[in-house]
Amino acid sequence: MSRASFKLGYLAISMSAALAIPGTGFAQQADANAESDESMERIVTLGSRVNGRTATESASPIDIISAEQLVNTGATELGKALQMSAPSFNFSSTTISDGSDIIRPATLRGLNPDQVLVLVNGKRRHQQALVNVQETIGKGSAGYDINAIPITAVARVEILRDGAAAQYGSDAIAGVINITLKSSEGGSVSAEIGQTYEGDGEVNTIGVNFGVESDNGFFNGTLEYRDRGMTNRASSAEASLIGDWSSPSGDPVVRLHIGDADSENLYAWFNSGYNFSETTELYAFGGISSRDGGSSGFFRGRGHPRTIEAIYPDGFLPKLETEADDQSLAVGIRGDLPNAWLWDASVVYGKNEFGFNSSNSANVSWYYEPSPDGGIYGETPTEAFDGELVFEQTTFNLDFNGTVDIANELLYLAVGLEMRRDGYQINPGDPVSWAYGREDDRSLEILTPEGDLAEPGIQGFPGFGPRQVVDADRDSYGAYIDAEYYVTPDFLLAGALRYEDYDIAGDNISGKLSARYDIDNDLSVRGTMSTGFRAPGVQQIYYSQILTNVVGGTLVETATIANNDEIAKQFGIEELKEETSESVSLGLIKRFNNGFDITIDVYQINIDDRIVLSEPLQADVGSQFADILEENQLGAVQFFTNSVDTKTTGLDVIASYPTEFMDGILNLTAAMSFMNTDVEQVNSVSSLIPGEQIFNDTQVLRLEEGQPSEKATLSGDWTRDAWNVNLAFNYFGPVEGQAFTGVRHEWGGKWLTDLSIGYDFTDSLNVRIGANNLFDTYPDEWGSAGSPFSDAGFKYGWETFPFGINGGYYYARLNYTF
Query: What is the model's pTM?
Result: 0.92
Query: How many Å apart are CA 294 and CA 358, to the nearest integer?
Result: 10
Q: Tell me what pLDDT residue 334 has.
A: 97
CB crowding 526-536: b at 16 or more within 10 Å, else e: bbbbbbbbbbb
Task: Answer whether residue 472 shows pLDDT above 50.
Answer: yes
Exposure b/e, 156-165, CB count within 10 A at least 16 = b = bbbbbbbbbb
Share of the chain above pLDDT 90, in %: 74
When pLDDT is averaged across residues 45-59 and rounded to a whole number, the result is 67
Q: What mean pLDDT is predicted for residues 479-498?
A: 95
Residue 15 confidence class, pLDDT cut points 50, 70, 90? very low
In percent, the amount of the chain with pLDDT more than 70 equals 91
What's the pLDDT at 34?
36
**Which of the two residues, 781 and 617, has the higher pLDDT score?**
781
In this structure, are residues 746 and 709 in contact, taking their beta carbons and an 8 Å threshold? no
Task: Dump the DSSP string for 252-318.
Answer: -------SPPEEEEEEEEEEEEEESSSSEEEEEEEEEEEEEEEEE---B-BTSTT--TTT-TT-B--
DSSP assignment letter at 54 = B
How sure is the predictor about 684, in pLDDT bands with cuts at 50, 70 and 90? confident
Checking if the pLDDT of 814 tops 60, the result is yes
Give the model's pLDDT for residue 54: 57
**What tens digit of pLDDT does each residue of 192-243 get?**
999 999 999 999 999 999 999 999 999 999 999 999 999 999 999 998 888 8
| Nearest-angstrom CA–CA distance, 3 and 9 | 10
Enumerate the β-bridge partners of residue 418. 397, 478
Decide the pairing of beta strands 723-732 and 710-720: antiparallel
| DSSP output for 427-493 | EE--HHHH-STTTT-TTS--B-TTSPBPPPSBSSS----GGG-EEEEEEEEEEEEEEEEEEETTEEE
pLDDT value of residue 555: 47
At 746-769, the pLDDT tens digits run 999 999 999 999 999 999 999 999
User: Residue 764 CB: number of other CB atoms within 10 A?
Assistant: 12
pLDDT category at 376 given cuts 50, 70, 90 is low
Q: What is the C-alpha separation between 455 and 87, in angstroms, rounded?
A: 45
Q: What angle (nearest 5°) sits at the alpha carbon of residue 581, between those of residues 575 and 582?
A: 155
**Whole-number Å distance between alpha carbons of 666 and 727:** 11
247: β partners: none
Residue 633: per-residue pLDDT: 73
DSSP string, 612-663: EEPPPB-GGG-HHHHHHHHHTTEEEEE-EEEEEEEEEEEEEEEEEEEEEETT
Residues 265/293, Cβ–Cβ less than 8 Å: no
Q: Report the Cα–Cα distance between both ends of the chain, in Å, rounded.
A: 61
Reported as a pLDDT band with limits 50, 70 and 90, residue 19 is very low
Q: Rounded CA gap, 118 and 145, in Å?
A: 10
* Per-residue pLDDT tens over the stretch 520-535: 999 999 999 999 999 9
If one compares 452 and 94, the residue with the highest pLDDT of the two is 94
Whether the CB-CB separation of 66 and 260 falls below 8 Å is answered with no
Q: Are the C-beta atoms of 779 and 750 separated by less than 8 Å?
A: yes
Query: Residue 454: which pLDDT band, with cuts at 50, 70 and 90?
Result: confident
| Confidence band of 518 (pLDDT split at 50, 70, 90) | very high
Largest CA distance in the chain: 95
Residue 384 DSSP SS3 = strand
Q: Reduced to 3 states, what is the DSSP secondary structure of residue 39?
A: helix
Contact in structure between 597 and 590 (CB atoms under 8 Å): yes
Backbone conformation region of residue 121, classed left if phi is above 0, alpha if psi is from -120 to 50, else beta: left
Answer whether 307's CB lies under 8 Å from 300's CB: yes
| Average pLDDT of the chain, as a whole number | 89
pLDDT of 49 above 70: no
Name residue 6's beta-bridge partners: none
Range with the poorest average pLDDT among 17-26, 44-53, 549-558? 17-26
User: Is it the case that residue 668 has pLDDT exceeding 50?
Assistant: yes
